[in-house]
DNA sequence: ACAAATACTATACATTTGTATAGTATATAT
DNA sequence: ATATATACTATACAAATGTATAGTATTTGT
């Protein structure tokens, strides 16, 4: 069932309260948060949220609210891990997805993203080895020196990014390899590497 | 800090209450659960749990309890991350715990374990850098060549383990460092490194 | 042996809290 | 158009609640 604007605001407040403080708010705390001068104003919104299945309530119990959907869904995120990325086909094409990993938002504060299995040892001096999974946050403007996932010549690679007057420089971290320079149009930055996971 | 039996029982009850109902119990609900005839009996146990760092409390607030550590469930595990490990004091002494991280059992199939923040770059050629968190599984017999956390000379270090007729060899993975040899009695293997997490 | 911490009982009190009754005003759907 | 749901104010009340004071008995550490 759909929520009204006011109901959605109240639900968001309750969610945030539980996430931040670890326990639900009282009816009056909800009222205070929205400037309501009567506790009933808040209670009616909560009643609606319970009726519509968004919240559970133990009646007569102080702070007796809980989420109908477990918070674990909110506190952790399931990310697809791709092995190879080719230009043309979408990054997260199902045939590319090797597995899904669950990472806690606490550890990697993402809204969306994906994992990429590292191929080759071009970033070995940055402690990124073959087989590692790098956690990639797409759609953020990377700054000078960030480690990124870039799509060049039909292949995705992990490199350190520098930009010099319109030229994109992808720098490996390997003693035998040299930085590569590209015209901005020839490189697509898929995202910034924000984490790494390795299994031994 | 260690918990007494009664304190542990109370903590377990509070944990279960939050897990099952979604909100913490009141002081009196704890008292009732254990048959205490005075709310103070429960309060004193809760006071101890707050003092010892297992719970957080908003004072004067009904059900104002929350867990200092994130909740573990069937699919994820909450691991303490320790910064420094010294001989003598127990590994997981509360004053050593920097944070808790939640890892999915899917990713690291553990029943128990801990994280250790890596100091120094003695394992840089194995892709383990300063600041990384290694996931340690204690109590398993490590095999030749495994990366382990070992306690030597009052300090915990991450090294690759070899054993040669009674001698324990801890091998750094760093061009400038040489393997160290110890009598078996002088080294305690705290656990095997089964994973690594890095945040950029 | 002795001090400190632990583990409880009994009772009390000011607040906090969920809920209720009685309204007003506006938006939404049939 | 008209009933229904939404969105609020004002006030009230019994029960729940965190905390406090004053104790007793037992365990633990030194």
Query: Is A154 in the same domain as A180?
Result: yes
CA B119 to mean position of chain CA atoms = 17
Pairwise CA distance, residues A51 & A55, whole Å: 8
Same domain for B61 and B154: no
- pLDDT tops 60 at residue B89: no
CATH number at residue B134: 2.10.109.10
Residues A64 and A81 in one domain: no
The sign of the CA dihedral A78, A82, A87, A88 is: negative
CA distance A157 to chain B (A): 17
**Residue A87, pLDDT score:** 57
The reported pLDDT for the residue numbered A146 is 94
* Separation CA B142–CA B146 (nearest Å): 6
CA–CA separation, B22 and B150 (whole Å): 40
Q: How confident is the model at residue B73 (pLDDT cuts 50, 70, 90)?
A: low
- CB less than 7 Å from strand C: which protein residues? A 26-29, 38-40, 43, 57, 59-64; B 4-7, 31, 34-41, 44-45, 48, 60-62
**What is the mean pLDDT of each successive set of 10 residues along chain A, which is 200 residues long?**
85 89 94 94 92 90 86 67 70 72 83 90 94 92 90 89 92 95 92 95
Q: Is residue B1 very low, low, confident or very high in pLDDT (cuts 50, 70, 90)?
A: low
Annotation says A183 is catalytic: no
> Are A120 and A89 members of one domain?
yes
d(CA B182, nearest CA chain A) in Å: 25
Give the pLDDT of residue A72: 44
Whether B159 is a known active-site residue: answer yes
pLDDT at A14: 92
In this predicted structure, what is the pLDDT of residue B143? 85
Of the candidates B101, B81, B54, which has an alpha carbon nearest to the alpha carbon of residue A105? B101
Number of helices and strands (H, E) in chain A?
4, 11
The verdict on B51 and B97 lying in the same domain is: no
- Protein residue closest via CA to C1' of C20: A40
Question: CB of A76 within 8 Å of any CB in chain B?
Answer: yes
Token pair 């490199």 is found at A159
**Statement to judge: residues A106 and A164 lie in one domain:** yes
Distance (Å, whole) CA B2 – CA B36? 23
Question: Does residue B72 belong to any structural domain of this protein?
Answer: no
A65 shares a domain with A102: no
Where are any strands of DSSP class E within B105-199? 114-117, 133-137, 147-152, 155-164, 167-171, 180-183, 187-199
Q: CA B131, C1' D29: Å apart?
A: 39
CA distances from B197 to A90, A91, A134, B100, B140 (A): 28, 24, 10, 13, 21
Assess whether B115 and B191 both reside in one domain.
Answer: yes
One domain for residues A153 and A104: yes
The residue from B45, B67, B89 where one domain ends is B67
B106 vs A: CB within 8 A:
yes
pLDDT by residue (tens digit) across B93-106? 566 778 888 888 88
Domain boundary among B43, B67, B91: B67
User: Which among B62, B73, B197 has CB closest to A72?
Assistant: B73
Strands (E), A3-61: 55-57
Phi, psi angle pair for B94, to nearest 5°: -55, -35
Look at strands A55-57 and B167-171 and give their pairing: unpaired
The whole-number pLDDT of residue B192 equals 94
Q: What is the Cα–Cα distance from B177 to B170, expressed in whole angstroms?
A: 11
Rounded to an integer, the average pLDDT of B12-16 is 91
Can you tell me the distance from the alpha carbon of B81 to that of B96, in angstroms, rounded to the nearest whole number?
Answer: 8
Could you tell me which of B157, B185, B184 has the C-alpha nearest to residue B171?
A: B157
Residue A127 contacts B where some CB pair is shorter than 8 Å: yes
Which residues of chain B are within 8 Å of residue A132 when distances are taken between CB atoms?
Answer: 127
Q: Are residues A87 and A168 in the same domain?
A: yes
Task: Point out the domain boundary residue: A69, A98, A116.
Answer: A69
Considering all nucleic acid strands, name the nucleotide whose C1' atom is nearest to the C-alpha of residue A38: D9
Compare B111 and B157 and report the one with higher pLDDT.
Answer: B157
* Residue A189, strand partner residues: A150
Same domain, A20 and A79: no
Residue B58 pLDDT: 93
- Cβ pair B102:A106 closer than 8 A: yes
Number of structural domains (chain A) is 2
Answer positive or negative: Cα dihedral of A105, A110, A111, A117: negative
What CATH number should be reported for the domain holding residue B49? 1.10.10.10
pLDDT tens digits, residue range A45-90? 999 999 888 899 999 999 999 988 655 455 678 888 988 766 555 6
Confirm whether B128 is domain-assigned. Answer: yes
User: Do A141 and A177 fall into the same domain?
Assistant: yes
Query: The domain containing residue B48 runs over which residues?
Result: 5-67
* A81 DSSP 8-state letter: E
Contact between chains at A147 and B23 (C-beta distance less than 8 A)? no
d(CA B48, CA B41): 11
């Amino acid at each position: 069932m759909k929520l009204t604007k006011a109901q959605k605001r109240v639900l968001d407040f309750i969610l945030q309260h539980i996430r931040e403080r670890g326990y639900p708010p009282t009816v009056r705390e909800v009222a205070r948060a929205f400037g309501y001068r009567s506790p009933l104003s808040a209670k009616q919104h909560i009643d609606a949220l319970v009726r519509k299945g968004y919240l559970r309530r133990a009646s007569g119990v102080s702070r007796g609210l809980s989420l109908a959907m477990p918070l674990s869904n909110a506190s952790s995120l399931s990310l697809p891990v791709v092995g190879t990325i080719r230009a043309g086909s979408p990054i997260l094409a199902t045939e590319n997805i090797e597995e899904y990993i669950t990472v806690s938002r606490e550890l990697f504060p993402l809204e969306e993203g994906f994992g990429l299995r590292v191929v080759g040892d071009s970033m070995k001096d940055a402690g990124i080895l073959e087989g590692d999974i790098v956690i990639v946050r797409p759609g953020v403007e990377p700054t000078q020196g960030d480690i990124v996932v870039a799509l060049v010549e039909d292949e995705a690679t992990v490199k350190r990014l520098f930009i010099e007057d319109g030229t994109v420089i992808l720098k490996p971290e390997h003693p035998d390899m040299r930085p590569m320079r590209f015209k901005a149009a020839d490189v697509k930055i898929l995202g910034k590497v924000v984490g790494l996971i390795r299994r031994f």
